[in-house]
């Protein structure tokens, strides 16, 4: 239930095939990807796929996997700050 005309979407899961790989598995959600690409928020922030950490700009959307832990649940990354 992601509305249109929204700037930021925060989910636990990533969209499928966008910063969603961890331990050789794509953990993303296909319906989520479809809705995000349809709604076109400025930012989609998520985690869940630990090795997918990073930022990607695609179709005018900034995708950010902010997973701070590795697959052994050790803190290995620093948080990011987005200025809106």
Q: What is the pLDDT of residues 13-66, one digit of tens each?
A: 999 999 999 888 999 999 999 999 999 999 999 999 999 999 999 999 999 999
Q: In 41-64, which positions are buried (b, 16+ CB within 10 angstroms) versus exposed (e)? A: bebbbbbbbbbbbeeeeeeebebb
Provide the β-strand partners of residue 43: 8, 62
Residue 56 pLDDT: 97
Q: Is the pLDDT of residue 84 over 80?
A: no
Residue 1 pLDDT: 86
């Amino acid at each position: 239930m992601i509305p249109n005309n929204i700037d930021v979407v925060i989910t636990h899961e990533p969209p499928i095939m966008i910063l969603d790989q961890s331990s050789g598995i794509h953990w993303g959600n296909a319906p989520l990807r479809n809705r995000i690409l349809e709604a076109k928020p400025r930012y989609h922030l998520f985690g869940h796929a630990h090795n997918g950490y990073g930022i990607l700009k695609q179709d005018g959307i900034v995708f950010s996997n902010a997973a701070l832990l590795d697959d052994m649940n050790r803190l290995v990354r620093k948080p990011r700050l987005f200025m809106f």
